[in-house]
Amino acid sequence: MNIPFDELSRVFRNEVLRYRNAVVLMFIAISLSVVFLGVIWPQNYKAASLILVDHEEDHSIADRGRGGTYGGNRFCPDSERAH
C-alpha cells in the first residue's frame, strides 16, 4: 500500500483539524511535563580535570637556563639551577 505524499499530508492535516482539541491538550501536557522535569532536575554538576606534565622536559629546559618562570622554576629551584 503505497500512498502518495500529497494525499498522506492531506489526510494528516484533516485528522489534526478533526482532533484539534486532543492535539492541543497533548501539546500542553508534553510542554508542562518538560518544564516540570526541568524544575525538579538537580541544578548542580561536578566537573574534574587532570593536567599531565612531562617533568623530564621541564628539567632539561631549566638546566639550559631558559625555563625560568616568575619566582623561579618549581622543578629546578634557583639554588640548583646551572649558571
Q: At what angle do helices 20-40 and 5-18 cross, to 10 degrees?
A: 80
> 13-27 burial, b if ≥16 CB within 10 A, otherwise e?
eeeeeeeeeeeeeee
Q: Is the pLDDT of residue 49 over 70?
A: yes
Query: What pLDDT does 3 receive?
Result: 87
Least reliable range by pLDDT among 10-19, 37-46, 70-79: 70-79
| % the chain with pLDDT above 70 | 64
Given a cut of 90, whether residue 22 has pLDDT beyond it is yes
pTM confidence score: 0.46
